[in-house]
Structure 1
Amino acid sequence: MSLKHDSGLLATIIEKSLLRASNITFAGLILTCLALYLSFVVWDVFLGPLSDIPGPKLWAASYFPKAYMMWTGSEHETLQRLHETYGPVVRITPRGINYTDAAAWKDIYGHRTGGKTKTFEKDPTLYINDPTGETHILIANDADHTRHRRILANSFSDKALRDQAPLLKQWANTMVRKLKEVATLDKGVDMVAYYNFTTFDIMSDLTFGEPLNVLENSEYNPWVKLIFGSMKIIGKITAIKQIPNMPRIIIALMPKSVRQKGKKHQKFSSDRVDRRLARDPGRPDLWTEVLKRSGDLSDTIAGMSLSEMHANAGVFMTGGTETIATLLSGLTYYLLINPDKLARLVAEIRSTFTAESEITVDELARLPYLNACIEEGLRIYPPTPASLPRRVPQEGAFIAGKWIPGDVSVAISQWATNRHTVNFRDSASFIPERFLGDPKYASDNFAAFQPFSTGPRNCIGKNLAYHEIRLLLTMTLWNFDLSLEAESKEWSNQRLFIFWEKKPLMVKLKAVRVCDDA
């Protein structure tokens, strides 16, 4: 018998033996694998590197509770409850930790000095890439983010914003005029809508040198409708992304309509950028400073490319509009359900100014109770209440005094942190006086309060946001007496899909001035 024949016969015997063995032990193999997996989970929950982090054991064993929490829009309430139960550090997934400890702000999001520790990169499970595949400031790596921020920071400098003050006042006057028109109808006015109309027109005018005219028409245009219609979908997609390996399935199964909405939003932004580049608006806008520093639009070393401009414009039209309108809506609501606070603020505003022309962004920055109300509004109803997770570098790092291994997702929840009774006394109550040095609230931990985040990726539009909030709220309270309609008494009961799912805020307006003098 030849060697070739012997080898072939042996191969046949082995093949048949393996086939019989595999048929016999397949069920056993599955059970063995399952037992090994469950053993690893049990070890990880009770003996693993994160086993000493407090939290519910089911959450430590599986990603599904977090995904369900986000899917149902209950992230803010659930995390608050977990922190009140387990303390300032809670394990919420097998490789995820959430904090309400003030020290964690600097450790997770802060600047890195001396090259001793690496930056905590953004956790990709939260962020949705631009539909064009282009990089913008929210998802850029450290090098690109630094370049984008250096260019865009000039548009948000004190000088640039001072130049824009007349434009902000113009839009505030338009808002008042439109509110006076609807106030004559003697019925409730949805302030969520009118704040949104105004902030979208302001940002469009600031960014592209042309408004959307949603305020003048008192209705959302197709672009704004698209933005609001996409928010809940994005929130649901983000919930599913919390489960490992699900992003690939999401991409494969994502409905064509969802992809088209993303592309439509980007096209709206891109078209307006192109129109802005083709003309000189005759006055400075946000793009004026960008163009000064971009030169050749193909240069992504010193400047910003055309495609990056397109991507960043889409970010501006979401982040610079809805969040400001959200804070204004929430602050208006909390003032209305706390009439003593509202009366004090109205008295401050109406006693400070004798004419509407005196109301300027510079003067408003000096009003103590106004600014205390805004800070308390940001605390009790943060426009970005959800966690913004980062990944611990591979070598690990200390967070709030404890060593955390690499590749763990860590985050701070604004809502849970601001409402944690360890950080703030009477945390569920609207009390602006805590920001004015009231001794009753001397124990409040204001280091935990970071409404615009902190570090190199904090909100670049912080100063613009404060200017808009102060001006639009003051112009409303200067011109109108407000009362809350019965249907909006429980307005704050909302779900969270990255952004708040807001209901109409129905308010009765009574004009107290016949005309303005601005």
Structure 2
Amino acid sequence: MTLLPLTLTLPLAPLLITIIATLLLYPITLALYRLYFHPLAKFPGPKLAAVTDWYEFYFDVVKRGQFMWEIGRMHDLYGPIVRINPEELHINDPEYYEKLYSGKRDKYARWVDLGATPGASFSTVGHEHHRLRRGALNAFFSKRAVVALEPVIQGKVGRLLGRFGGVMGTGEVVRVDAAFTALTMDVISQYSFARDDDYLSEPDFKLQWKETLIGAFEGGALLRQFPWMLRVMNLFPDAWVAWMNPSMKLMLDWKAGVRARVKPILDGTEKEEEGKGHRSIFHELRDCNLPREEKTVGRLCDEGQILTGAGTETTATTLTQITFFLLEDRGILEKLRSELRTVMPTKDSEISVTRLEQLPYLSAVISEGLRISIGVTARLPRIATDEILKYKEWVIPFRTPVSESGYFILMNETIFPEPSKFRPERWLKDSKYNRSLEKYLVNFGKGTRQCVGMNLAYAELYLTIARVFRKYELELFETTIEDIEMAHDFFAPVPRLDSKGVRIRVVGEVKEQYGWLL
């Protein structure tokens, strides 16, 4: 009786030894391959980064958005091209940026997992597939379309001015970063769905939405490392996921809110009062000639999530940073106001984006605000599909993911001396706007994957800065440079996590200076 179990277990010993040996040998073999036989083995970089993705995981997830600075350290040690993980190269060269992001480029499949929206144009890997999806959006975000929809932006900016007027002189403190996020969210929602949730009317400007976005951006780093997590979560009802992970509730509510707007448009079941006025993006997508499989609720909900997310935070961050620096340096603010008075004689003068774009100093302020706010901090890997890329003496193996980071260009000391300082004058030459630096203003990317919302963002920036600072006197409240200075790369720049945001008081209205008219 006692011999039977022993007899049964003896054949298992060789199998167990084989399994243990395999588990030990596999990572060793993989490490040796990646170090000495992988197509990228000849490229410089830390050996540990070449061996394992856990190197990136440590800096991006454990240390919460610090990998970008580690990449910068790699370049300091190894030069302008480095291997930053087992599969990817990173280049730090402003002159190569346009070459890398122009032409037929696929996205890196692993990288787009961070969006958790596989059906969105942003997450589309293939160049041709992206071209199909992007083509359906281009017309709506063209310069002409944005000009036609300018009344929507004007109306939302007017609502923001009304909120500021309501607290003027009261001493009430306003989270201006949340206010600008509410503004851009209401604008993109109106553009996308022909209705919005009126975050501009919320007492705290729906601060929760801003916090949701930051949480989503940080969560993207984890999904990029473990893309299977999203597939696992999708196996469970949303209510279960929210119960297991309360921090996911806001994300799931956002997803459900987009679906609640997209589905009635696709089904034609909108309420009678909805969908009036202008035709929204999703009305256009519903009626365009995209193939039927491109018009499913799931795919278009993914598109809606990206549009509302990307169309909110980056522009709001730029508005926030410009506001901080204008209030920090009254000399810059007075120069701006002096110029604004030439086209806005009174603080309530009507003005158009087209007219504002002709103002050199305002344009310089906008460009400097874009530069110093960075926009998208994350590197954006691309895979060349129609050529073998070469960088200096390096021949890059075909279909290798290669990236650059806009941060290193926008903060390049050679191109932008004293890059951490807000200096609109760097964009001026002989009192005229100097376009020679615009090739390095890479906030919106380059090439066919350039941000589709660029024209909309510029319209929001010009109208908001001009109308707010022509009308109101603001002052900072217990806010320092640390409240806007980037401390974390969560795809978008995020300041120190204990920051209370950029806070202001509305002191009064701008005093008219009639003397200049005489």
Shorter-chain TM-score tier: 0.7 to 0.9
| Cα offsets for 1:380-428 (capped at 9, x unmatched) | 2112111112235497433466321134322111112211334432222
Structure 1 unmatched runs, 5+: 1-14, 113-118
- How far apart, in 2, do the equivalents of 1:83 and 1:24 lie? 44
Deviations 1:444-482 (A, max 9, x none): 975343211111111111111100011111111111223
State how far apart, in whole Å, the 2-side matches of 1:124 and 1:28 are.
30
Give the equivalent residue in structure 1 for 2:5: none
| CA 1:496–1:274: 2 relative to 1, 3 Å | same
* Mapped pair 1:147 → 2:132: yes
CA distance in structure 1 between the partners assigned to 2:150 and 2:437 by the alignment:
34
Measure, in 2, the Cα distance between the counterparts of 1:512 and 1:203.
Answer: 28
Distance 2:55 2:317 in 1: 28
Alignment correspondent of 1:264: 253
For residues 211 and 405 of structure 2, the distance between their equivalents in structure 1, rounded to whole angstroms, comes to 23
Partner of 1:189: 174
Structure 1 pair 389–208 and aligned structure 2 pair: CA distance change class (3 A): same
Deviations 1:217-253 (A, max 9, x none): 33355xx8367426425523524633xxx43366447
Q: SS at the partner of 1:151?
A: helix
Taking the aligned partners of 2:465 and 2:299, their CA distance within structure 1 comes to: 34
Which consecutive unaligned segments of at least 5 residues does structure 2 have? Answer: 1-7, 235-239, 513-518
Match of residue 201 from structure 1: 186
Show the 5 A alignment for 1:30-45. 36-43=29-36
Find 1:127's aligned residue among 80, 101, 113: 113
Q: Distance in 2 between matches of 1:165 and 1:229?
A: 28
Q: 3-state SS of the aligned residue for 1:65?
A: helix
Which of 408, 424, 439 aligns to 1:432? It is: 424
Distance (whole Å) between structure 1 residues aligned to residue 484 and residue 296 of structure 2: 42
Whether contact under 8 Å (2:262, 2:301) holds in the other structure is yes
The whole-number CA distance in structure 1 between the counterparts of 2:291 and 2:398 is 37
* Distance in structure 2 (CA, Å) of the matches to 1:325 and 1:270: 24
> What's the CA shift for 1:104?
3.3
Instruction: Return the alpha-carbon distance in structure 1 between the equivalents of residues 198 and 92 of structure 2.
Output: 41
**Residues 492-511 of structure 1 aligned to structure 2 (within 5 Å):** 492-493=484-485, 494-501=487-494, 503=499, 504-511=501-508
Q: Kindly provide the amino acid, as one letter, of the partner of residue 100 in structure 1.
A: N
**Structure 2 equivalent of residue 232 of structure 1:** 215
**1:379 offset after TM fit, Å?**
1.4
Give matches, 1:294-333, under 5 Å: 294=288, 299-300=292-293, 304-333=295-324
Distance 2:95 2:448 in 1: 17
Give TM-score, length-normalised by structure 1. 0.80
Say if 1:313 and 1:498 are closer, same or farther in 2 by CA, change over 3 A. same
- 1:420–1:427: 8 Å Cα contact kept in structure 2? yes
> Which secondary structure does the structure 1 equivalent of 2:306 belong to?
helix
- Quick check: which has more Rg, 1 or 2? 1
AA partner of residue 146 (structure 2): L
For residues 347-402 of structure 1, what are the alpha-carbon distances to aligned partners after superposition, in whole Å with 9 as ceiling and x for unaligned? Answer: 22234420333322111111111111111122121121111122354974334663
Residue of structure 1 equivalent to 2:52: 62
Alpha-carbon separation, structure 2, partners of 1:345 and 1:234: 33
Paired residue type of 1:267: A
1:138 is aligned to 122
What is the SS of the residue equivalent to 2:110?
coil
Q: How does 1:35-434 map to 2 (within 5 A)?
A: 36-43=29-36, 49-71=39-61, 72-112=64-104, 119-128=105-114, 130=116, 135-140=119-124, 141-220=126-205, 225=208, 228-229=211-212, 231-239=214-222, 241-242=224-225, 246-248=226-228, 251-252=231-232, 256-257=241-242, 262-276=251-265, 277=268, 278=270, 279=272, 281-287=275-281, 290=284, 293-294=287-288, 299-300=292-293, 304-355=295-346, 356-393=348-385, 396-399=388-391, 402-434=394-426
> Aligned-pair RMSD on alpha carbons?
3.7
Gap change, CA 1:68 and 1:346, over 3 Å in 2: farther
**TM-score relative to the length of structure 2:** 0.80
Tell me the distance in 2 between the aligned counterparts of 1:206 and 1:350. Answer: 30
Q: Percent identity?
A: 22
1:462 aligns with 2:454: yes
Higher mean alpha-carbon deviation, 80-89 vs 311-320, is at 80-89
Say if 2:379 and 2:405, in contact at 8 Å, map to a contact too.
Answer: yes
